[in-house]
């Protein structure tokens, strides 16, 4: 009986210690979704000269880790990931840290773009946009089709610029989505 009591006390103590040693991850910062206010199946229309193309949101997902268990070989994740496709474009967008737009990237038709700068305003093809982030091609070669992507807060992608093309958003109205509109993928560790 004494051995069982000791074993039970040691087991309970070990569980308490291991639980207390778990690391609580920081909460997902919902403000990051303002930069890409898209949910699954949203459609975004762009034009270039007389040509139109419609991007469809294939997925818009949040990856979040609540807690890391004692001794686990992983890290906290708070990312926001989207994919948009059309006849012309395949765009993967990744905000690797919900608290920092600097740690984000876009891949458009296999061309990588990194965060470059933040702008207060810009006029593109006669349209004024404010509160922007700019992504630039990380490998601008002569064969690269795309140079920059402009993203406006509360609108999303407003322009895709290349050497011989300039795709501009048609509907530049403010969009508001709720966190519940997105798919939450918990990444337990």
List, for residues 156-176, the tens digit of each pLDDT value: 999 999 988 899 999 999 998
Quick check: is 112 in a domain? yes
Does the CA dihedral 108-75-58-95 come out positive or negative?
negative
Predicted confidence (pLDDT) per residue in 49-81, tens digit = 989 999 999 999 999 998 887 777 788 899 999
More confident residue, 188 or 117: 117
pLDDT top residue among 39 and 188: 39
Q: Per-residue pLDDT averaged across 177-181, rounded?
A: 89
What's the total number of domains in the chain?
1
pTM of the entire predicted model: 0.85
Q: Which two tokens mark 40? A: 């699954």
Q: What is the DSSP letter of 54?
A: E
> Does 4 fall in a domain?
no
Q: If DSSP codes are grouped into helix, strand and coil, which group holds residue 130?
A: strand
The pLDDT of residue 103: 93
Q: Give the integer Cα–Cα distance in Å for 73 and 117.
A: 34
Answer yes or no: is 142 within a domain.
Answer: yes
**What does the alpha-carbon distance between residue 139 and residue 112 come to, in Å, rounded to a whole number?**
7
Residue 181 gets which letter from DSSP?
Answer: G
- Cα–Cα dist 25/65, whole Å: 6
* Residue 14, domain member (yes or no): no
Q: What are phi and psi of 150, to 5 degrees?
A: -105, 130
Residue 6 lies in a domain: no
Q: Tell whether 13 is covered by a domain.
A: no
Q: Which contiguous run of DSSP H or E holds residue 173?
A: none
133 within a domain of the structure (yes/no): yes
- The answer to whether position 10 is within a domain reads no
Average pLDDT of the segment spanning 111-139 = 95
Domain hosting residue 119, numbered range: 25-186
């Amino acid at each position: 009986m004494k051995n069982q009591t000791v074993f039970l006390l040691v087991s309970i103590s070990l569980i308490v210690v291991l639980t207390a040693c778990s690391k609580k991850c920081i909460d997902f910062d919902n403000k990051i979704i303002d930069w890409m206010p898209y949910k699954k199946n949203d459609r975004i229309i762009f034009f270039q000269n007389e040509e139109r193309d419609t991007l469809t949101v294939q997925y818009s997902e949040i990856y979040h880790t609540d807690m890391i268990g004692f001794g686990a070989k992983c890290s906290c994740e708070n990312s926001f990931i989207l994919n948009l496709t059309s006849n012309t474009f395949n765009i993967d967008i990744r905000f690797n840290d919900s608290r920092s737009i600097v740690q984000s990237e876009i891949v458009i038709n296999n061309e990588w773009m990194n965060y470059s700068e933040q702008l207060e305003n810009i006029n593109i093809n006669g349209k004024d946009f404010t509160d922007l982030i700019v992504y630039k091609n990380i490998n601008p070669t002569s064969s690269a089709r795309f140079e920059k992507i402009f993203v406006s807060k509360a609108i999303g992608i407003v322009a895709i610029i290349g050497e011989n093309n300039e795709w501009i958003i048609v509907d530049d109205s403010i969009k508001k989505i709720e966190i519940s509109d997105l798919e939450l993928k918990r990444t337990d560790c």
